[in-house]
Amino acid sequence: MDGTAETLITLGVLLLLGLMTDAIGRRTRLPRVTLLLIFGFAIGPSGLDFISPSDGKWFSIVADIALIMIGFLLGEKLTLSSLHMHGKLVLWFSAAEVVGTALVVLVGLLFIGVQIDIALILAGIATATAPAATTDVVHEARADGVFTRTLLGIVAVDDAWGLIVFSLILTATEALGGQGDTIAPLLTGAWELGGALLLGICLGIPMAYLTGRIKPGEPTLVEALGLVFLCGGIAIWLEVSFLLASMALGCVVANLARHHMRPFHAIEGIEWPFLILFFILSGASLHIEALYQIGLVGAGYMVFRIIGRLVGAWAGGAISHAGPPMRRWMGMALLPQAGVALGMALVATHRRPDLADMIFSVVIASTVLFEVIGPVVTRSALVHVGEVADHR
């Protein structure tokens, strides 16, 4: 079969099967991300071997597109009005959660003997949350109150801070792996971060100017996709962080545009098909042999991430003078972890292919666990603080 025909047929089948998996998730209340990952694993090389992401370059393109969209949508959360509305509780909790989780995971993994560059990368990935899963739980439970509003505010900005921390940590791991030359990796890292922010700002200003002048509908979709893809492509070409560049782009547009919601709604409307492919192919990328080898590293990562969430929430609550229920339950409510963590893992494996099997296996295994138990624990936290409608 012709290569183009095979690729198009594969993409079509995966999208349709992903749609079926999504439908099953809605009927069974199982997280759809978990189902897509499991489905991808089942049809991958370690399962039925129907598809192998390593066989085609299109997997990398689809993954990059999905991650660029995720970064752009995360940038929307970093508006001055949003930060002012959510107040100091959100800022302190979010900062403490990100820093606390990263430190606990790093120290914990080093304590059990994990290689320092693996420990650093996993510490950065551990900061990621799952805004979609958390929001779904809140809406389903019809929860409302100070705790709920603070929780939604935290997940709105958590991944943005986490992405910045992850970028810094990834730069540090490259410096450690520089075979004695630490200056060059640090300069490269500074360029990747600073160049990404500069690129996002330079493209975001004209995009914000155009957004208020183009009518909603198809023109807005074309404008949004064109500039987001342009940002991602230039970032990859310049070898800067395309995740951070697209997030900076979204942040600038959200703060400066007259009708800033239009491009974000346009991207959200077509984001899910790419995420379906991303999650399925991520699951297919998991090799069962590597999963057997994660052992203590994987178990330690999961345990230390939970501890880090609890410690971070307690610290954030203490600094912001939050009440005991919020200190006690906020960490548990932030356990879900999904797409952004997988995106971070994919970026890390591209930059450190020598660590790919271990990092990707640990992140996928933990993502499945946290996506299964996370939403359940989040709902339990909402019940315990008395903000679920049916339990008041």
What is the structure's pLDDT at 306? 92
Q: Which residue has the higher pLDDT, 231 or 145?
A: 231
Question: How far is residue 383's CA from residue 145's CA, in Å, rounded to a whole number?
Answer: 12
Question: How far is residue 247's CA from residue 252's CA, in Å, rounded to a whole number?
Answer: 9
Question: How far is residue 184's CA from residue 169's CA, in Å, rounded to a whole number?
Answer: 16
What is the structure's pLDDT at 98? 87
Q: What is the pLDDT of residues 246-288, one digit of tens each?
A: 888 888 888 887 665 666 766 666 777 877 777 787 777 766 6
* pLDDT higher than threshold 50 for residue 180: no
* pLDDT higher than threshold 80 for residue 228: yes
Q: Which residues contact 192 (CB under 8 A, 6 or more apart)?
A: 167, 171, 239, 240, 241, 244
- If you average pLDDT over residues 116-140, what whole number do you get? 80
What average pLDDT does the structure give for the chain?
Answer: 77
Question: How far is residue 302's CA from residue 363's CA, in Å, rounded to a whole number?
Answer: 9
Q: Which residues contact 212 (CB under 8 A, 6 or more apart)?
A: 257, 258, 259
Question: How far is residue 3's CA from residue 1's CA, in Å, rounded to a whole number?
Answer: 6
Question: How far is residue 77's CA from residue 250's CA, in Å, rounded to a whole number?
Answer: 9
Contact 10, 62 (CB under 8 A): no
Q: Which of 201-205, 215-219, 339-343 has the lowest mean pLDDT?
A: 215-219
- If you average pLDDT over residues 227-250, what whole number do you get? 85
* pLDDT higher than threshold 80 for residue 149: no
Residues in the chain: 392
Q: Which residue has the higher pLDDT, 298 or 343?
A: 298
Domain range 56-278+288-385, CATH architecture: Up-down Bundle (1.20)
Helix-then-strand count for the chain, H and E: 15, 0
- Determine which helix (DSSP H) or strand (DSSP E) holds 349, and give its type and residue range: helix 339-351
Q: Full-prediction pTM beyond 0.75? A: no
- HSE-up (13 A, CA, CB side) for residue 204: 25
Selection from 193, 199, 198 nearest residue 172 by Cα: 193
Contact 371, 130 (CB under 8 A): yes
Contact 260, 208 (CB under 8 A): yes
* pLDDT higher than threshold 70 for residue 392: no
Selection from 61, 185, 304 nearest residue 53 by Cα: 61
Q: Which residue has the higher pLDDT, 15 or 285?
A: 15
What is the structure's pLDDT at 179? 45
Question: How far is residue 158's CA from residue 344's CA, in Å, rounded to a whole number?
Answer: 14
Q: What is the pLDDT of residues 22-51, one digit of tens each?
A: 777 667 656 666 677 778 878 877 777 777
Question: How far is residue 368's CA from residue 37's CA, in Å, rounded to a whole number?
Answer: 8
What is the structure's pLDDT at 84? 67
What is the structure's pLDDT at 242? 80
Domain ranges of the chain: 56-278+288-385
